[in-house]
Copies of this chain bind each other. A is one copy, B any other.
Amino acid sequence: MGSAGGDPATLPAVLLFRRPGGAFSAALRERFAVLDFRSSGEPLPAFLAKAAAEPDPPRAAIVVGGGSVVVDASLLNAVPSLRCVVSTGAGVDHIDLAECTRRGVAVGNSGEVYSTDVADYAVGLLLDVLRQVSASGRYVRRGSWPMLGDYPLGSKLGGKRIGIIGLGNIGSRIAKRLEAFGCVIHYNSRKPKDSVSYKYFPTVHNLAAASDVLIVACALNKATRHVVNKDVMEALGKDGVIINVGRGAIIDEAELVMALKEGKIAGAGLDVYEHEPKVPAELFAMDNVVLSAHAAVFTEESRSDLWAHTIGNLEAFFSGQPLLSPVHADSVGFLNQIC
């Protein structure tokens, strides 16, 4: 990486759309002239207009994964100098990839930085749902154990047929972990992978019908929005469990709540929701549902990996090299990468 503390006037300008401050901002400012939207206090159009009017207007932008700022034609029109957008998330559903491709704007994401943590969390959610860790914890904490006796038995992980939707960086790590527990791995993705011996199912509905557990580990895009719908839940069946570490909208959330209420599936482990941070309140009283707050993605240990990777993407761009983790519009029918 470049030497620290250069003359800001000679550093390449970068738009920053994330919370200011911290070690990451400091590392960025050593390498780039950072135009910081959050600190500017300006409305987005005014901020973009001012950036575009700089003598050396910004050629790259860092956007937050999750999409508080949407990179679309209107943003790209406002700053025509932009030739690179780097997301700090793996998911790029907040970036109009077709529009970027059309304009020759390079798009990068967080690559595999999150994959391990997300895969670990998916296994944690599944173990929790099947073995009722959280539910039995609430039972203990409210003092019920001495009064009401043992909590009901959970369900065994070993031998379960796990249907993974999206066998990318994350899905394949989930598969590797669950193999160690004696699970049978099935998957659905855009096309079969030559590198694995897991059974491939061409549709999510086929996959659900042949699985005890569905794990959502794909990207959200037009093809995957609500791909886990009422029919899929019915195919999964009343003993079935759904885990979502992808994006909320990959599942039809209203139908999921209904299926759980009516016992059409057995349980769910959800880290993501259609309208975060809003979680359907009907889920709060369900002991067969494990809820968390979009926490799969990241750990303290991974933070520095993300900062280094994001800076690496930008330095590659400014030195005319391919991005470390480019995202192409044509890979997005089924990206298999999420944040």
> Are B292 and A137 in contact (CB-based, < 8 A)?
yes
Residues of B within 8 Å of A301, CB to CB, are 155-156, 159
Given A279-B145, A295-B131, are A120 and B180 also a contact pair (CB < 8 Å)? no
Q: Bound complex: CA of A157 vs CA of B293, how far in Å?
A: 19
**In the complex, what's the smallest C-beta–C-beta distance from A287 to chain B, in angstroms?**
11
Identical chains bound together, number: 2
Stretch in A93-101, A121-129, A253-261 touching the partner:
A121-129
The answer, among B139, B141, B151, B293, for a CB contact under 8 Å with A145, is B293
**In the complex, what's the smallest C-beta–C-beta distance from A41 to chain B, in angstroms?**
20
The answer, among B136, B159, B290, B296, for a CB contact under 8 Å with A293, is B136
**In the complex, what's the smallest C-beta–C-beta distance from A284 to chain B, in angstroms?**
5
Q: Residue on B with the closest CB to A180? A: B180
The answer, among B116, B181, B279, for a CB contact under 8 Å with A140, is B279
> Are A180 and B182 in contact (CB-based, < 8 A)?
no
Number of interface residues of A (CB under 8 A): 58
Residues of B within 8 Å of A112, CB to CB, are none
**In the complex, what's the smallest C-beta–C-beta distance from A145 to chain B, in angstroms?**
4
A274 at interface, CB cutoff 8 A: no
Given A128-B124, A179-B180, are A136 and B292 also a contact pair (CB < 8 Å)? yes
**In the complex, what's the smallest C-beta–C-beta distance from A4 to chain B, in angstroms?**
26
**In the complex, what's the smallest C-beta–C-beta distance from A226 to chain B, in angstroms?**
22
A36 at interface, CB cutoff 8 A: no
Q: Which of A130, A133, A279, A301 has the largest count of B CB atoms less than 10 A from its CB?
A: A133
Q: Bound complex: CA of A126 vs CA of B177, how far in Å?
A: 14
> Are A145 and B277 in contact (CB-based, < 8 A)?
yes
Residues of B within 8 Å of A303, CB to CB, are 153
Q: Bound complex: CA of A277 vs CA of B149, how far in Å?
A: 8
Residues of A at the B interface (CB closer than 8 Å) are 116-117, 120-121, 123-125, 127-128, 130-134, 136-141, 143, 145-146, 149-151, 153-159, 176-177, 179-182, 276-279, 281, 284, 290-296, 298-303
**Contacts A/B (CB < 8 Å), 16 sampled:** A120-B131, A120-B157, A120-B158, A123-B123, A123-B127, A128-B134, A130-B299, A132-B292, A133-B295, A140-B292, A140-B293, A149-B277, A150-B293, A153-B303, A156-B301, A159-B301
